[in-house]
Chains A and B, each alone.
Chain A
């Protein structure tokens, strides 16, 4: 069935394509001699209104309205004039991503106004979207013939040739594009990609380095990395491959495509734009688009949720809270709005409220990892340490790679005085996360200063801290080193390390120095430290960063 439809389509297109040059159909006659065939031009057929019932109401209205304009225009406009509303209808459907539906409108516009490259150009894009690159090439080639100086056409043509594995054809188009518009990142970038496809890696490096100077985007870096890799320059390759981006993000300045944006006033369209802005970390634009989306789709919980997220990220927590509350009202069984409300409350230091929201979230979704993690931290922060532990364990059951949960669990055990379990947990964590020194540091503190005699191991603490100090230096680490020295009876060393810690803390954490001096006094009296962390140490009160 599908093959048959495709076959029929090819026949139709063949006629349409032929129409541009000489013509083979009723429409061809019209377009070939517009002035001599006025009657035929005055009432040409227009494509039927596609089924738009599946679209947002606002999108439906906009399309119906445009179609009405088109139908009205048929009675008054010449064929050439009619190509404009036909094309507008095509553009509208293309903007709505109704690619198949847009096609006949562009075809009709193109037939009536064959010298206008826009319609061929849009048809090229329609066929790209329909995953028919061979057809897209035909239309881009036609658009290029009609306007050889249009750089976007050359670039899209080159890109589509690459899709088809026609690298040499791509290189010809893209070489011309770089000559016509030497400041175009897209032209140099895609020429670089063509060179890569042709295995001409040295040229690829030249073109892509040029593109990189114009636009240091991750997409350019990645292609450059591939080129250097092929040349055997592993060091440069790795340096560039660290940045990875999709080649599709490198597009030419393209007024015809840009004009499609903003054609719709639908909640879905604004939601998409809002999410794109969030991806770009452009909070203001995100908020503006999502606000509009919420006006157009007031009952869409996802819209309010995303609006709340954008507002939260932009720093407007009161407004974020209102948006999340709206989402909860619309979808009370959805755990995410509850969780996000918890985050807002947490940021506002309203821990009790945050705990209630996080609890509600995990009640709605027992496998909600982030909610369990936030709930555990909030409980621990508010002194409900025992209650926090099951939530940390749940996080680890859901994803053993979440090291923060393992740390929170171990520190929770410390807080409860369960030093032996804390030590064992941290020992496991040190083996599991060799690249995270925080675990080794915490373990060293317990080994050096835990009040439980059976837990302490001063020699191991010295060993751990020496290893850590080889690559890090902080006042907390220096203090731990002092604790370890004291534990093995080397109080002179302990005094030295503690003095160093106090000096270091004087610059970064002066409030901590008073307590440190007390410990220093203990070392002078040859009394080792027995409090790995002060009760008010920040380690016991985890706050979300940022």
Chain B
């Protein structure tokens, strides 16, 4: 009762009590046929590139209503023979719903039939429909030349990078699709990491003198690029005129969201060991870095952090999006609370998030309401970037692995580490990197695909969330294109409103389900749905149904 009273208008009743522990998530990778093992190509040279990938995408490539998986692969980094079958792979989700509503996720490797043949050293993936044909395309970030895979709508993809007006920004990890000028075409921000090649590799050592992976500060960062979509997926590099190259660092995370509530999408860039940028949209295809005054350039201590994964979401249900950033061991995850006008306060320590994440190096992370109680929780996949001495001393051949962490939102800006209660899937220690979040089995709760470096991909199906009421919403335009950047407000019967953003970016090097889920607890009751469209318009409809996925189409409404 006391806890519930602290909240900003929620009606859920389940959050005050801790859900019983158990297998809240189970790994169904093997059972579902998602057989993917990442190859980082390590050769003992400790090339920094080999520990930075991979990401993963959850997206519906065949428009059959369920989420498919694009898995990013590495390569050998030294000259020589290619590792067998080391290329990106596409897995089609052949979701089956049996009698009694039992859902079975089955993945089929359709890489060959999709005509995905390129062998490059992949880093990450972003998903968005760049030509407004209703089929989701992919942008692939790489240690090497990037790619833009046009979804042909017939189950195949074509790399159209060379003819799309895009320029190679060097070693890239994260990218965000953003309709920066609200013209209905997705523009693209691609962040770059550092200027590096195996030829320019330098040897770095831990203080003990032992050779270890270098930090990005050993190399020169490269500015990201902003590409304006002139229509039909033809881009123009507007980086310089837009001003987004004025300040930069070794970027690993990007996020497009409306930081200051003015209805225009801004860009947050998370840099590894250097100040982060918050590019506020000046509504004329130019941006201004406001990170320092906004309080999101450095943490509360004034320190630039080794930022990797990033996400924006309304964790306190006050109507604005707050920032979550996964950082290095010893820094802990950072939580910046938004005052609604784009001024943020670092509440990492007060929320307990920082202390509990200090021993881990976080990569993929996101806000997601795993228990559908109406409050956004956090999952972080972890894995060090420098040798963990205790593992090395024990003879571990790849001593970077750490376990994942699950944080439950207790309300009142407090989080509890519930990892130990989340089941066997969370006991595994792996070198986690990418994580894509989405409802893979369409049962109304968020699942997670985890991309491990030099390890097996995991499919963590949520067994906990469907015990509560929920509503799933997909927001599209008349071409049935997911309207990235739209915001959906679910007005509850008690008058409170929960806001979620349509997005595919965020986390680390990964693409997420563009649909949104509203957890409603045991008794939450919707009354109306509001949508703030990416072009600034808004619509509202009465709506009371629960426990179903609905489609909200512009000009049509919910159905």
Contacts and interface: CB of A to CB of B under 8 A. Distances in A.
A133 B355 contact: yes
Interface stretch (A243-251, A446-454, A525-533): A243-251
Interface stretch (B13-21, B113-121, B127-135, B200-208): B200-208
Contacts of B358: 131-133
A98 interface: yes
A401 interface: yes
Interface string A263-305: 0001111011000000000000000000000000100111000
Nearest to A242: B292
Point out which of A134, A399, A433 has the most chain B C-beta atoms below 10 A from its C-beta.
A399
A229 B343 contact: yes
Contacts of B292: 241-242, 244
B143 to A, nearest CB: 12
B208 A56 contact: yes
A512 interface: no
A248 B223 contact: no
Contact of B208 (A98, A165, A248): A98
B220 A244 contact: no
Interface string A351-391: 00000000000001111111000000000000000000000
Contacts of B240: 400-401, 432-433
Contacts of B427: 3
B250 interface: no
Interface stretch (B36-44, B295-303, B491-499): B295-303
B484 to A, nearest CB: 26
Nearest to A217: B302
B444 to A, nearest CB: 31
A424 interface: no
A226 B344 CA distance: 10
Point out which of B225, B246, B300 has the most chain A C-beta atoms below 10 A from its C-beta.
B300
A369 B220 contact: yes
Contacts of B220: 369-370
A55 B208 contact: yes
Interface stretch (A114-122, A332-340, A496-504): A332-340
B302 A55 contact: no
B208 A247 contact: no
Interface residues of A, number: 70
B330 A131 contact: yes
B260 interface: no
B200 A229 contact: no
Interface in B165-214: 167, 170, 195, 197, 199-200, 202-210
A226 B301 contact: no
A369 B378 CA distance: 40
Contacts of A162: 349
B302 A401 contact: no
B82 interface: no
Contacts of A14: none
Nearest to B237: A400
Interface in B218-258: 220, 222-223, 225, 237, 239-241, 245-246, 248
A222 B297 CA distance: 11
A218 B170 contact: no
A417 B403 CA distance: 64
Nearest to A56: B209
Contacts of A1: 429
A421 B325 CA distance: 46
Interface string B302-342: 11100000000000000000000000011000000000000
Given A54-B210, A131-B330, A197-B350, A2 B429 contact: yes
A3 B208 contact: no
B390 interface: yes
A393 to B, nearest CB: 13
Nearest to B211: A54
Nearest to A246: B303
Nearest to B358: A131
A219 interface: yes
B31 interface: no
A352 to B, nearest CB: 25
Contact of A365 (B197, B208, B295, B298): B197
Contacts, number: 150
A97 interface: yes
A519 B275 CA distance: 50
A32 interface: no
A401 B207 contact: no
A401 B293 contact: no
Q: What does DSSP make chain B's interface, helix, strand, loop or mixed?
A: loop
A505 interface: no
A247 B299 CA distance: 10
Given A97-B207, A197-B350, A401-B239, A336 B302 contact: no
B21 to A, nearest CB: 13
Contacts of A242: 292
B412 interface: no
A247 B170 contact: no
Contact of B223 (A130, A223, A365, A401): A401
A267 B354 contact: no
Contacts of B239: 400-401
A54 B223 contact: no
A51 B394 CA distance: 10
B359 interface: yes
Contact of A163 (B200, B275, B349): B349
A432 to B, nearest CB: 4
B249 to A, nearest CB: 13
B245 to A, nearest CB: 4
Interface in A447-484: none
A231 interface: no
B295 A229 contact: yes
A201 B169 CA distance: 43
A351 to B, nearest CB: 24
A349 interface: no
Contacts of A132: 358-359
Contacts of B420: 3
Contacts of B349: 162-165, 197
A268 B202 CA distance: 15
Nearest to B347: A165
A398 interface: yes
A397 B358 CA distance: 39
Contact of A223 (B202, B302, B354): B302
Given A55-B210, A98-B208, A367-B195, A247 B302 contact: yes
Nearest to B240: A432
Contacts of A366: 197, 199
Contacts of B248: 401
A268 B205 contact: yes
A422 interface: no
B393 interface: yes
B363 to A, nearest CB: 17
Interface in A115-158: 130-134
B389 interface: yes
Nearest to B220: A369
A100 interface: yes
Contacts of B532: none
B207 A367 contact: no
A302 B218 CA distance: 11
B403 A244 contact: no
A100 B176 CA distance: 41
A169 interface: no
Nearest to B348: A165
A229 B195 contact: no
29 contacts: A51-B393, A54-B210, A55-B210, A56-B209, A132-B359, A163-B354, A163-B355, A165-B351, A222-B298, A223-B302, A229-B343, A244-B292, A246-B302, A247-B301, A248-B303, A268-B205, A268-B207, A269-B207, A302-B202, A302-B203, A302-B205, A333-B199, A335-B200, A364-B199, A397-B167, A398-B170, A400-B240, A401-B223, A401-B246
Minimum-distance CB pairs A-B, first 5? A56-B209, A247-B301, A401-B245, A222-B302, A268-B209
Given A163-B354, A248-B303, A300-B203, 4 more contacts: A54-B392, A229-B295, A244-B298, A367-B170
